[in-house]
Amino acid sequence: MVTTTTDLIVRYAETDAQGVVHHANYLVWFEEARSDFLRQLGLAYSDMERNGFFVVVSEVGVTYRSPAFYEDRISVETTLAKARRRLLEFTYRIRNREGRLLVEGRTRHIVVGPDKRPVSLPKSLLEQLTTPPA
């Protein structure tokens, strides 16, 4: 399993009137961390899409442990937990600067082609996805 870390700062627009992060923003952070995961491996979603591979979310799970607040510095630990030819599953752990676990989550993705039908990733791409960054 490959794991990367993405650092973010909570923006004002991501919070409610009490300065607490709105629950839906964690999904946005999962997506940002997933994109960064690929960049850290030398890949990009845009390159995959140009090559005819679209990774679409098929399932999401989130467990909220503790709130994040405006201007908190947070880290999103992203792990590729499963990598199969047509399925990718990522797990996430978001912590604040003190190391407190704020959120745990999981996303499942199906790989589809331009026609929106499931396709298999080439073996070389699967290998790149499962090789830790240098």
Confidence (pLDDT) at 132: 85
Mean pLDDT of 78-96: 97
Q: What are the pLDDT digits (tens) for 42-81?
A: 999 999 999 999 999 999 999 999 999 999 999 999 999 9
The pairing of beta strand 73-83 with beta strand 2-9: antiparallel
| Residues 6+ positions from 52 with CB-CB distance below 8 Å | 113, 114, 119
Alpha helices in the chain (DSSP H): 25-40, 45-50, 123-129
Tokens encoding 19: 């300065």
Residues identified as active-site: 16
Residue 134 has pLDDT above 80, yes or no: no
| Structural domains for the chain | 2-128 (3.10.129.10)
